[in-house]
Structure 1
């Protein structure tokens, strides 16, 4: 298997002397569509409040001016944004960038201790919090040595004296410009930091990924180029991305997928974004119907709900033209279910990482449906290869490390040269290595991808959600165990007759046995209320491996010895 170079021809020019708001708000790029009529940039989901381009630019200026006046925020200072999505979240980002400062977005599920780690690691000087996250924000600010008056909230909180973003914007707009916006020299955009985005931390404490302005701009240009967003010469039915589309921003902006693909790319190509503060599935369905949403960027757990939840039948989803899944694998079975649910939509999945400033692959643009189970095709400008442990290139069907080169790759991990050297090969920001074997279950030397079994299991009517993990076995090395959230119908049968649980388990295990070779058969099924996942939708298998271990040690999980496979 040789190095794979992406198709799509040469990329358009990627400006390396602009900051992100200068690129998005102040200039025109050749790959950007021209809006033929005025439309809102942002819509607040629950209220319907619309924000157009003029108001958005004014609010960005006002907040930047106030941050400078009050706390002298300037070049390379860090502003932390903590909480779920908010209609002013993009404005907080771009106001910070107008000052030459850096944004770090924090997971709203963090405890105070976890937030303290991010605040102290990045040396944040201001913390902007969602109202619902304020108690944790104040506790973390105290623990991290950040003065309480530097904790700002997006909206007023009863009984709290903290300044609001709206108050700061009003103050900033009352004054003439007090800051000097940075003007980058040619090439400086490749070094000037825009974000400190934290990796998921599944192999240790989260690491701060250093993302310069150029990386995000490059990824937006790559996506605009591959989607042909500006090309109006094609028939309307083939114009998958075009101005006037409506996207539902239900993925978190603190996460790289929501930040780059949903926020920046969507707005760049003229998509109106409906901003979702908190994901509620029935509200999600209602918003698709209410706002005639055309584009959905989702993660597999959301797709599972779309395919399994009984409420879906009550809503009109016919407006959906494009559905893209990412952040975790989407099985062929789920993809087929989506096709049945949305027969007129283009459906596919993309692959990327925080370290590559999101996407390195994209769904094919020349057909409604890509290859089932495929992560898409390489974005223009990307080079990929799979490298075996001995350094040689892997052949078809062999596993190894995926090595990706892209103009969007980050600079490395902040203050962590060891991790940078390990992940960014030879210290070069062009090569990013990702282990492909870490989730495989090894049964007597055979490789069993959990996602393959999960996709099959989600096709069973008794399975609402599922996660498959490997458990140690003296004879086989590991065996696949399924943690299953029963479907509503299966749960009702179990509630009515507890003895039905055994029949459901048996049916689920038989389903796998009927469709998979012997070494992929399940060794057991454990029912669970919910599958643990991180906010980007990745299954937290380590928690379920620990749970399986505890169940075995307590005698509540008994695994039959397999004499042969």
Structure 2
């Protein structure tokens, strides 16, 4: 029997995404919306300025040819320009695909080709990757947020005197954002999130957690990741918060900004919780304003959460979601002071969850796969109807690939996962992608990749490799270097073991469970 959210259903505004986020921006006037947090005295943007910038850039993009249904790729670290581009493109009726700022040329080009991007917006330090990737994918134009010779810039487009675009958008069916996710298995796929998906999840999440108007959040999680986009951009700007932007994680600067802006809620991934628990720099800053640290994007060890909570003097809680859920389905409510250790919380409003025995397909009171249904469930995977059908059934239930349980009070716990995806520092690392890279090596006959614990509450990719006839003196260091030169840093293989054969089923599927069992036996001595 499905479990339902303990919160009353909320009404979902029938609005385009950008209109919902910026609904009260003009009325907030000189209230501070964005701060460049890289150094003291960084650029500050008021709500009135943000609203005006979005409208002017939308006019410039429309004049440049961006039309409803076009895809604009946004390849950028966190900057104050990021939301301006994001919402301006949405105002044009375009789809924004966010690109991981660590991606290599080949990885960028693959995503651009897959989604058919027409424009690529980036920053000048990224042009060495953006330009060749755009050329390889047939992208019409590369635009920079700052300045670079030979490229139009965001400020130039904002100088347009063209009228604002007036585009008819159907929130229920029109796609707003196209992040890429590997889902439960396989390579990265474009996750089609409609305007309604995103707006729905904003109001659903706000049924359980509240950010006060004027409160500051320090945006250290990347905006290209759905977790950062939702919790550190969309919701704070909708409620009238101040988003203090950091382009990359620097612990000292992060702590200084929390102290300076008196942040009350901190959204992070487990590696930052580890730093809060153990790094000596924490003691040098006043973090007394922090009431809640929310960790998501990967499982958080309860002992680590307790250690961080004791050191900072606040609650450290978890949430649960995935890109395909826009992203949130579970969170510990603000008013719950003593949730059980390890829980990812309760279902947000308008959400149902089944706990399904993978062997029988029947609901179970024990551990089973979590299936989610609600208005935040994605429209589907771009151009992949088979994968969409394998993930979302005809009744709208999304199979998460995660194994969990629920207690009598409606607290959910994620205990394991069916899916093969590796989570490293909150980033998704699809084994199939690394296996494809490994098999491109002339000295490798076969390969498989799994995630193995690294002792810090995280996983690292480990490759099992079968040497080919031409392997020569191929060793672990050579394998690691080969992969490192072809993938983003978070996808690097960090351990290698050579085997005579990769365990596979009769159908040829890699039996990763056998490799994981092998690792457990080795760890046990």
Which band: TM-score by shorter chain? 0.7 to 0.9
- Are 1:549 and 2:497 an aligned pair? yes
Tell me how far apart the structure 2 counterparts of residues 181 and 244 of structure 1 sit (CA, whole Å).
31
The answer as to whether partners of 2:216 and 2:262 remain within 8 angstroms in 1 is yes
Cα displacement string for residues 291-350 of structure 1 (whole angstroms, at most 9, x for unaligned residues): 22222100001111111212211222112122111011111101111221122x233111
Matches within 5 A, 1:84-99: 84-99=77-92
Contact kept, 8 Å, 2:20 with 2:238, in 1: the verdict is no
Q: How does 1:349-498 map to 2 (within 5 A)?
A: 349-388=318-357, 389-396=359-366, 398-399=367-368, 401-426=369-394, 428=395, 430-436=396-402, 483-484=454-455
SS class of match (1:242): coil
Aligned position for 1:24: 21
In the other structure, the counterpart of 1:255 is 225
* Offset, 1:409: 1.0
Computing the radius of gyration from Cα coordinates, the structure with the larger value is 1
Greater strand content: 2
Aligned residues: 437
Q: Determine the structure 2 residue equivalent to 1:7.
A: 6
Query: Aligned with 1:79: secondary structure?
Result: strand
Residue aligning to 2:33: 41
**Can you give the 5+ residue segments of structure 1 that lack an aligned partner in the other structure?**
29-33, 230-240, 439-447, 452-479, 487-528
Output the CA distance in 2 between the equivalents of 1:114 and 1:433. 27
Task: Map residues 54-203 of structure 1 onto 2, 5 A cutoff.
Answer: 54-70=48-64, 72-147=65-140, 150-157=141-148, 160-169=149-158, 171-172=159-160, 175-177=161-163, 179-184=164-169, 188-200=170-182, 203=185
Cα deviation 1:21-46 (Å, max 9, x = unaligned): 22222369xxxxx9999520111102
Determine the C-alpha separation between the residues in 1 that align with 2:239 and 2:376: 18
1:318 pairs with 2:288: yes
CA distance in 1, matches of 2:521, 2:34: 58
Rounded to whole Å, the distance in 2 between the matches of 1:393 and 1:105 is 36
- How many angstroms apart in 1 are the aligned matches of 2:94 and 2:315? 38
Please state whether the residue corresponding to 1:351 is helix, strand or coil. strand
Which residue does 1:294 correspond to in 2? Answer: 264
The partner residue of 1:206 within 177, 188, 193 is 188
2:214 paired residue among 244, 248, 265: 244
Tell me the SS of whatever aligns to 1:435: strand
- CA change 1:37–1:191 in 2 (3 A) is closer
TM-score, with structure 2 as normaliser: 0.76
- C-alpha separation in 1, matches of 2:493 and 2:83: 33
Q: Does 1:338 align with 2:308?
A: yes
Q: CA separation of 1:129/1:360 partners in 2, compared to 1, >3 Å: closer, same or farther?
A: same
Deviation at 1:551, TM superposition (A): 9.6
Output the CA distance in 2 between the equivalents of 1:319 and 1:288: 8
Structure 2 unaligned blocks of 5 or more: 405-413, 418-450, 458-479, 502-517
Pair 1:63–1:5, CA change in 2 (3 A): same
- Aligned partners of 1:35 and 1:270 also within 8 Å: no
Shift of 1:410: 0.8
- Root-mean-square deviation (CA, aligned residues, Å) is 3.3
